[in-house]
Amino acid sequence: MHSQSVTKVKKAFLSGIWATLISIAIGFTFKIWLAGWVAKADLALFHTVVDIISLSMILMTGFRSSMVVTYSQTKNDIDIINIFRFTLIFVVLMTWGGVIPYIKHSLDIGVEYLQLVGIIFGLGLKLYFTNLVAMYRLYDITNRTTWLDPALNVALFLFAYYIAGFSALTALFYGLTISSLITALYMYISRRKEISTLPIKPVQLNSDMYGYVKKSFTATLEAGASILMIYIAVLLTIRYFSVDELGDFQVVVRPVFTYMTMLFVFPIYRFVLPELSVKVRNGEFSEIQLIRRWVFKLSFIVSGAFFLT
């Protein structure tokens, strides 16, 4: 019984690391290739716009863990999902109304409105289905989309640039938008095979749902604080450094922090914490100790590997 819990966490965690390694290999190779021939100013512009939009959606990061915990406790998925839907719609509308004018006018970045709206819509829809897949603990879908999304991004950029004839910067924006939409569609179809779509309806707010909202915002402050530090560096770089220096930061420095977070923090966030929440609810403390020992053992191995390299 104990070994089954640890085995499940190990399998999901290690599968997540392999999927993340594939994603990193695709993404980093793509960045290096682009850096060899695309203007540094265009790359800096693209990554900065995406970072600012991503920063505006940090609010949603806290919902993922809260959705997993609350669903494992209450099984009230319809109210959990509808609260998340309404919050996400509000955040997307606020992003359209606040972030787009900030990018266009305050920062004076020359990006078309259609490209900005498309990225916000695509990232928002992908975020919605990512959280739903996480709530139902559909780990196989999570791992597949980890490498599918960057692979689609590369393929669609190549199509937009070499076949459709767009400029490199425009192809980057359209590639990211359409790849996000296709990834969201894939998660929707895959999830529908397991769990049907729930209707939009008024939320029945009770003590459990109030607790869910409270946990969501608390988790947002915790998860958002670490992510915010990276994005603050981007915003400071915009204000005080040249476009070339911004390009160096976006292409070389920031990916290192991002990929390390993807490789060793996100698998814990995606796989270990949801399983622990279920064990806590069921009072299975002996299994929690086994999972804890395994995670500590892995952390020492990873820390040692980084120290030696």
Q: How many residues does the chain have?
A: 309
Contact predicate 13/301, CB 8 Å: no
Question: Is residue 174's pLDDT more than 90?
Answer: yes
Give residue for tokens 């994603």. Answer: 23
Mean pLDDT of the chain: 81
3-class secondary structure per residue, 110-124: CCCHHHHHHHHHHHH
Cα–Cα nearest to 48, from 257, 223, 226, 237: 237
What phi-psi label fits residue 75: left (phi over 0), alpha (psi between -120 and 50 degrees) or beta?
A: left
Q: What is the rounded average pLDDT of the residues 189-196? A: 90
What does the pLDDT look like over 86-114, one tens digit per residue? 989 998 888 888 888 888 877 777 788 88
Compute CA distances 263 → 19, 253, 290, 301, whole Å: 9, 16, 22, 14
Structure tokens at 184: 């969201």
Question: Is residue 30's pLDDT more than 90?
Answer: yes
Q: How many CB atoms lie within 10 A of CB 74?
A: 16
What does the pLDDT look like over 68-86, one tens digit per residue? 888 888 888 999 999 999 9
Q: What's the pLDDT score for residue 100?
A: 85
Q: What's the pLDDT score for residue 85?
A: 92
Task: Compute the distance between CA of residue 295 and CA of residue 14 in angstroms, rounded to an integer.
Answer: 12
Task: Compute the distance between CA of residue 261 and CA of residue 106 in angstroms, rounded to an integer.
Answer: 30
pTM of the model: 0.83
* Sequence spans of domains, the chain: 40-252
Task: Compute the distance between CA of residue 89 and CA of residue 70 in angstroms, rounded to an integer.
Answer: 21
Question: Is residue 3's pLDDT more than 80?
Answer: no
Stronger pLDDT, 238 or 183, i.e. the higher one: 183
Q: How confident is the model at residue 1 (pLDDT cuts 50, 70, 90)?
A: very low
Ranges 26-35, 246-255, 280-289, most confident:
26-35
